[in-house]
Amino acid sequence: MCLGIPGKVVETFRDHGILMGKVDFGGVSKRVCLEHVPDITAGEYVLVHVGFALAKVDEAEARRVFDFLEGMEQLGELDEVP
């Protein structure tokens, strides 16, 4: 129920004064309310739940876990026998 899917904003527009947009989910395009991500621009990613964008996806933060694991790997920590 609390499913949230990241999608790429393709275009933004206003409908009855509300910020809306077309958001692409891997080839499937949906109409999404963007009112609560007011600074969003086309090309950026948003997390969408029931046709409503809850937040902008922070790309730098998204890379953090992979950088962390790579760092551990370089230290050889993951390959040691516990």
Partner 1 sequence: MKFLDEFRDGETVAKLVRAIERRVTRPWTIMEVCGGQTHTIVKYGIDEVLPAGIELVHGPGCPVCVTPLEVLDKAHTIASRPEVIFCSFGDMLRVPGSRGDLLQLKSQGADVRIVYSPLDAVQLAAANPQRQVVFFAIGFETTAPANAMAVWLAARRGLTNFSVLVSHVLVPPAIAAVLDAPDNRVQAFLGPGHVCTVVGYAEYEPLVARYNVPIVVTGFEPVDMLEGILMTVGQLEAGEARLENQYGRVVVRDGNPASVALIGDVFEVCDRKWRGVGSIPRSGWRLSEAYRQFDAERRFEVEAIETTESSVCISGQILRGIKKPHDCPAFGSTCTPDTPLGATMVSAEGACAAYFAYGRLKSVDGARRLQPSGEVGV
- Applying CB under 8 A, the residues found at the interface with partner 1 are 1-6, 8, 16-18, 25-26, 30, 33, 35-38, 45, 47, 49-52, 54-59, 61-62, 64-66, 69, 72-73, 77-78, 80, 82
Helix (DSSP H) and strand (DSSP E) numbers for the chain: 1, 5
Q: How far is the CB of 10 from partner 1 (least distance, A)?
A: 14
Q: Looking at the chain, how many residues does it have?
A: 82
Show the beta-strand stretches assigned E in the chain: 5-15, 18-25, 28-33, 45-49, 52-56
Q: How far is the CB of 26 from partner 1 (least distance, A)?
A: 4
Any bridge partners for residue 48, and if so which?
5, 53
Q: How far is the CB of 42 from partner 1 (least distance, A)?
A: 15
Q: Quick one: 11 or 25, whose CB is closer to partner 1?
A: 25
Reduce the DSSP state of residue 39 to 3 states and report it: coil
